[in-house]
Amino acid sequence: MNDWQEITGGVTAPRGYRAAGITAGLKPSGLPDLALIVSDVEAIAAGVFTTCQVKAACVDYCRQRLQAKHSARAILCNAGQANAATGNEGWLDALECAMLLGQELNMPSESILLASTGVIGQRIKMEPLRSGIGKLVAALSETGSDAAAGAIITTDLVTKSIALETSIGDRPVRIGGIAKGSGMIHPNMATMLAFVTCDAAVAPTLWQQMLSRAADRSFNSITVDGDTSTNDSLIALANGQSRTPAITEMGAEAEKLEAMLTAVCQHLAKAIARDGEGATCLIEVQVSGATDEQAANQIAKTIASSSLVKSAIFGRDPNWGRIAAAAGRAGIPFEQENLQIKLGDFLMMENGQPLAFDRNAASAYLKEAAANASKPQDMMATNMSNDLSGDRSTIKAQSLDNPVIIAVSVGNGHGSGKAWGCDLSYDYVKINAEYTT
């Protein structure tokens, strides 16, 4: 049993946080495009960012800020323009964003972190942003998480949000999160943004370590299309407003907090994978019997990212050979005679030998998984200028709780791991073929 419960509120569920999301005019569609999260007090800050060598100005900015000091009070995010590969002009735009918000909030710009999402190579539209900062601050609310979640998305069909609560020292401690992401998703961070708030007090180095491990077990274990991007950012704040004793080293309380942080990140990561561009179902790859966790995760991520596996799932084809081939090319040694493969409840390979199974029933399992995880395909975004239209209802709980399960065992080792992905459909090609046209 998990030692926490799900609650409402997203990033404003923890004590001492407000959030807002508005339409500033950055997106041609006129949809919300500017979001803000603010802590009432200075909070310990940690971040994990893209590994891409071509980085957005906001990524360089955040890295510099977090190297200089391990705290922040606000996160500002614009949607519509990535402000990546925009040279010195883009860097100056980022600095101005922090300066303008700092003036409006009456806080140092050094206490503000930035994120951007949108088309690479496009600078932020500064005139509407300048005009929108005051309106954004005025909209801050202790119930503003949903508005913020709606203002950070681009080709997403749905918003992604979660909040959990546990007890530490007989006092409630909460962690909330929102995220965006739908395409260019692959391990080692991807085209995704995630913002996490916490009201516990945690030592800076420990908070960063917790976040990095949580990222490895969540956002670095999802894939949609094998591409990473320029803007990927996971930022987490811990402001101590729960009034619980400070957690300064690993122990029972730290382990409980990290487990809840990981659960928040995994929920958001799975929601991103489920909302993959053109996807019809979520896929969960479970690997066991490896020498260690790292080896198991490598095999799981290789299977989840295989275009052939993803295409077979979309075609409702129980083609276990593609799963076997992907496991075999993951770069992790194992004996072929130890390989076992299951699709749902269907055992397809045992001891490296193929088994007879009901192909029609296995195909029906895939069809049922897609039907249960249906999402509003009529809202499918076809290009960046249109963004999204219609209802942004939350993903059905069943679409995250009942994914297509691929279970692979490679031996008798103690290492196990998981990765999440989605199927590869015709719509994925259409969306990305027309992305900027």
Reported as a single tens digit per residue, the pLDDT across 262-313 is 999 999 999 988 887 778 889 999 999 999 999 999 999 999 989 999 999 9
Tens of pLDDT along 60-96?
999 999 999 999 999 999 999 999 999 999 999 999 9
The residue among 155 and 34 whose pLDDT is bigger is: 34
Name which of 3-12, 28-37, 83-92, 176-185 the model is least confident about: 176-185
Name which of 53-62, 169-178, 181-190, 362-371 the model is least confident about: 181-190
- What is residue 245's DSSP assignment? P
- pLDDT, position 379: 35
Six-digit token string for 99: 């300066």
Split at pLDDT 50, 70, 90, the class of 365 is: very high
Cα torsion 414, 273, 76, 144: sign: negative
Q: Could you give phi then psi for residue 181, rounded to 5 degrees?
A: 160, 140
Q: Cβ atoms within 10 A of the Cβ of 335, count?
A: 11
Catalytic residue among 12, 50, 154, 191: 191
Cα torsion 381, 383, 388, 390: sign: negative
Q: Check pLDDT > 70 for residue 201.
A: yes
- What is residue 135's DSSP assignment? H
Q: Which residues of 198-228 are buried (b: 16+ CB within 10 A; e: fewer)?
A: bbbbbbbebbbbbbeebbbbbbbbbbbbbeb
Average pLDDT over residues 420-428: 85
Split at pLDDT 50, 70, 90, the class of 369 is: confident
Cα torsion 78, 79, 81, 85: sign: positive
Tens of pLDDT along 86-98?
999 999 999 999 9
- pLDDT, position 381: 35
Q: How many CA atoms lie within 13 A of 185 on its CB side?
A: 38
Q: Check pLDDT > 70 for residue 252.
A: yes
Nearest to 157 by CA among 372, 429, 391: 391
Distance, in Å, from the CA atom of 105 to the CA atom of 51, rounded to the nearest integer, reads 32
Catalytic-residue membership of 191: yes
Mention every residue, 6+ apart, whose C-beta is less than 8 A from residue 184.
190, 191, 224, 225, 227, 228, 229
Mention every residue, 6+ apart, whose C-beta is less than 8 A from residue 214.
258, 261, 262, 264, 265
Q: Check pLDDT > 80 for residue 223.
A: no
- pLDDT, position 182: 66
Split at pLDDT 50, 70, 90, the class of 380 is: very low
pLDDT > 90 in the chain, percent = 75
Q: Check pLDDT > 70 for residue 377.
A: no
Six-digit token string for 71: 């705290």
Q: Check pLDDT > 90 for residue 54.
A: no
Q: Check pLDDT > 90 for residue 128.
A: yes
Six-digit token string for 171: 């006092």
Split at pLDDT 50, 70, 90, the class of 228 is: low
Q: Check pLDDT > 50 for residue 136.
A: yes
Average pLDDT, the chain: 89
Split at pLDDT 50, 70, 90, the class of 382 is: very low
Distance, in Å, from the CA atom of 269 to the CA atom of 219, rounded to the nearest integer, reads 5
pLDDT > 70 in the chain, percent = 89
3-state helix vs strand vs coil in the chain, percent to 5: 35, 25, 35
Average pLDDT over residues 137-151: 98
Six-digit token string for 144: 């503003």
Cα–Cα separations (whole angstroms), residue 374 to 175, 219, 266, 380: 28, 23, 20, 13
Q: Is the pTM of this model over 0.75?
A: yes
Sequential DSSP letters for 349-404: EETTEE----HHHHHHHHHHHHHHT---GGG---STTT---S--PPPPHHHHHSPE
Six-digit token string for 211: 């976040």
8 Å CB contact between 409 and 289? yes
Average pLDDT over residues 367-386: 54
Strands 171-181 and 160-168: antiparallel
Six-digit token string for 343: 């699709």
